[in-house]
Amino acid sequence: MDRYVADVSGLSRSYVQKLISEGQVTIAGVPIKSNEQVVPGEVIELEVPDPRPLELEPEPIPLSIVYEDEDMLIVDKPAGLVVHPAPGHPNGTLVNALLARDTEYGGIAGVQRPGIVHRLDRDTSGVLMVAKNDLAQASLMAQLKARSVKKTYLGLAQGAVAATVGRIEAPIGRDSHHRTRMAVVPGGRDAVTGYHVRERLPGWTFLELDLITGRTHQIRVHLAAIGHPLAGDPLYGTGTSRRGPDGSSRLFLHSWRIELHSPGDDHLIQATAPLPPELEAVLVGLRARHVGEPGPVGPGGLTGQVGSVDDFEPVGGRDVG
């Protein structure tokens, strides 16, 4: 029952389970249990309570808005900005900045996450959706669950990625040895990342990446798992990859483009955020190096039961160039 209600409503399964435990999901007025089976013909009633009053303070943090209508906006988040308050980051977040701009946002994702439907890592820059009301938030969450939102990133990977177009399929879960990290693990959640080589540079490969699923640290974990960690990654990189090329000052990962349907009238929205100057400068520096300089080559893929790499299958059946 909890899985069915989550799929239909677009809410997260954990939030639906919470609503079920609070008696907010009923059949003929009788509260149901999460493990009940769905029976054809039943009418399931879901009541989403109004969000509790926010205890967050608005903060005048500058924001770059790349798209806005009456239901949603798309922000170009800078690197270093945390998306929502959490232990260790009670303020100075994107949410605090949003509240300084407008006090009304969708609240069904939780008190600390008004309007937030997905996240970017603190050190990742680029486009991120924000809902202005509950209906918009439910629509965007449903689109994410159905994988109909197309999210494309730009990243700089260490070494020479062999294939021009590829697809990484490997399950991701919590690293049993390092609880702050994710890893490719047997029994993890399915995860799929498509990639397309944009430019080959000395010692590095500039990639366009399609995030087909949306697991925590997915791109970083997948690229590290095939031997091509992202430049400037302090968590999954080692040695040269952790330092990045000359002039590198941050993780080279940018949420470049997003495509979705408007929660209001279903028209197609396409929004992009240009590569930040500090990342563009890294590419300029690499292009200035001797073209013939060889770079390190990582292993070509994964083996065993934890995943596979098909270097010749088009990503998602569409041209990602």
Report pLDDT digits (tens) over 48-85: 877 655 578 889 999 999 999 999 999 999 999 999 88
pTM score, two decimals? 0.75
Per-residue model confidence (pLDDT) at position 54: 53
Give residue-wise pLDDT tens across range 205-261: 999 999 999 999 999 999 999 999 999 999 999 999 999 999 999 999 999 999 999
Question: pLDDT band at 121, cuts 50/70/90?
Answer: very high
- Does one domain contain both 72 and 161? no
**268 in any annotated domain:** yes
In this predicted structure, the answer to whether residue 316 has a pLDDT above a threshold of 50 is no
Q: Which residues are within 8 A (CB) of 319 and not within 5 positions of it... i.e. 6 or more apart? A: none
If one counts the domains in the chain, the total is 3
Where is 278: in which H helix or E strand? helix 277-287
- Does one domain contain both 184 and 133? no
- Does one domain contain both 30 and 159? no
Is residue 73 a contact partner of residue 65, using CB atoms and an 8 Å limit? yes
The domain of 123 spans 64-145
**274 in any annotated domain:** yes
Nearest to 117 by CA among 157, 74, 158, 170: 74
**56 in any annotated domain:** no
Last residue of a domain, which of 112, 145, 178?
145
Per-residue model confidence (pLDDT) at position 291: 55
Question: pLDDT band at 188, cuts 50/70/90?
Answer: very high
In this predicted structure, the answer to whether residue 171 has a pLDDT above a threshold of 90 is yes
Give residue-wise pLDDT tens across range 4-26: 888 787 777 878 888 999 999 99
Question: pLDDT band at 111, cuts 50/70/90?
Answer: low
Question: pLDDT band at 168, cuts 50/70/90?
Answer: very high
- Does one domain contain both 310 and 211? yes
- Does one domain contain both 26 and 68? no
Last residue of a domain, which of 145, 172, 198?
145
Per-residue model confidence (pLDDT) at position 114: 85
- Catalytic residue, chosen from 121, 123, 210, 233, is 121
> Could you confirm whether 121 is annotated as catalytic?
yes
Mean pLDDT of the chain: 86
- Does one domain contain both 132 and 267? no
- Token couple for 40: 């054809």
The b/e string for 204-223 (b: 16+ C-beta within 10 A; e otherwise) is: bbbbbbbbbeebebbbbbbb
- Does one domain contain both 248 and 137? no
- Does one domain contain both 162 and 27? no
Nearest to 54 by CA among 128, 106, 17: 106
Is residue 9 a contact partner of residue 1, using CB atoms and an 8 Å limit? no
* Residue 311 to residue 147: CA distance in whole angstroms: 22
- Does one domain contain both 311 and 181? yes
- Does one domain contain both 84 and 158? no
- Does one domain contain both 258 and 129? no
- Token couple for 151: 């999210």
**17 in any annotated domain:** yes
AA letter at 202 = P
